[in-house]
């Protein structure tokens, strides 16, 4: 039997443990480890994990979206967690508040969602107009637009016509990022159309569809 190959590094003779079972101090910080399982506050924080701490197959839980990503060393991408070949995803809710939106003003913002998402529910907290764009250039000819009214704050796929009748079109919208390479960003404009200043909160419940996330 060949002699074992020495492992370079700080060698330990036994496991790292606290002094007693009553000790409450952790044995290590997941943030400073390599690979394994850990958590980060937002999707953007995935990109801040140093390369030397990445390990093929490591899993990271993103608190912002309640989604688990795994590191694909070969592709150099963060992928949605998969199990048995099936995507184990769930509906995600994201919320953002545009503050101090004055009469007639438009404010821009972006949300981290997915490369493409099925939108189950989009609700504004007050009368306003929201436009969603697939790129930061905002030059597409057919962006998503929803104008909320006092009695119609949720986009349910219907349109209230001038005579009061309701026209039902599609049930769900789809948001897709069209940048090259694609990212998980969707770009928004929020416009005050009722001339009452104040904050406007947008709440979106969606199902991530396209899963590869590339930095």
User: 97-155: per-residue pLDDT in tens?
Assistant: 999 999 889 999 999 888 888 898 899 999 999 999 999 999 999 999 999 988 889 98
The order of strands in the sheet holding 185-191 is: 106-112, 185-191, 129-133, 144-147
Which residue range is the domain that position 43 belongs to? 30-87
Question: Is there a single domain that holds both residue 122 and residue 78?
Answer: no
For the cut 60, the answer to whether the pLDDT of residue 207 exceeds it is: yes
Residue-level pLDDT at 82: 55
Distance, CA of 53 to CA of 49 (rounded, Å): 7
Q: Prior bond to 77 cis, omega within 30?
A: no
Within a domain: 115: yes
> Residue 143: which of 105, 167, 181, 108 has the closest Cα?
108
Question: Is there a single domain that holds both residue 97 and residue 62?
Answer: no
Strand 166-168 and strand 86-87: the pairing is unpaired
For the cut 60, the answer to whether the pLDDT of residue 88 exceeds it is: no
CB atoms within 10 A of CB 95: 12
Confidence of residue 86 (pLDDT cuts 50, 70, 90): very low
Counted domains in the chain: 2
Mean pLDDT score of the chain, rounded to an integer? Answer: 83
Q: What is the rounded average pLDDT of the residues 34-46?
A: 87
Confidence of residue 95 (pLDDT cuts 50, 70, 90): very high
Contact (Cβ atoms closer than 8 angstroms) between residue 190 and residue 97:
no
Question: Is there a single domain that holds both residue 103 and residue 74?
Answer: no
């Amino acid at each position: 039997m060949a002699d074992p190959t020495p492992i370079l590094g700080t060698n330990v003779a036994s496991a790292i443990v606290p002094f007693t079972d009553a000790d409450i101090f952790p044995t290590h910080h997941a943030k400073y480890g390599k690979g394994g399982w850990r958590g980060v506050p937002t999707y953007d924080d995935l990109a801040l994990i140093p390369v030397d701490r990445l390990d093929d197959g490591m899993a990271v839980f993103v608190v912002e979206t309640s989604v688990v990503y795994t590191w694909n060393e070969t592709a150099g991408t963060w992928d949605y967690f998969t199990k048995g070949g099936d995507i184990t995803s769930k509906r995600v809710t994201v919320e953002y508040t545009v503050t101090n939106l004055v009469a007639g003003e438009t404010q821009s913002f972006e949300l981290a969602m997915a490369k493409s998402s099925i939108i189950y529910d989009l609700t504004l907290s007050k009368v306003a107009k929201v436009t969603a764009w697939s790129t930061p250039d905002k030059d597409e000819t057919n962006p998503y637009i929803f104008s909320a009214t006092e009695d119609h704050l949720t986009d349910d796929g219907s349109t209230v016509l001038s005579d009061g009748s309701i026209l039902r079109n599609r049930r769900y919208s789809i948001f897709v990022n069209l940048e090259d390479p694609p990212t998980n960003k969707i770009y928004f404009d929020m416009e005050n159309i009722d001339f009452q200043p104040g904050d406007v909160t947008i709440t979106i419940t969606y199902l991530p569809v396209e899963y590869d996330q590339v930095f």
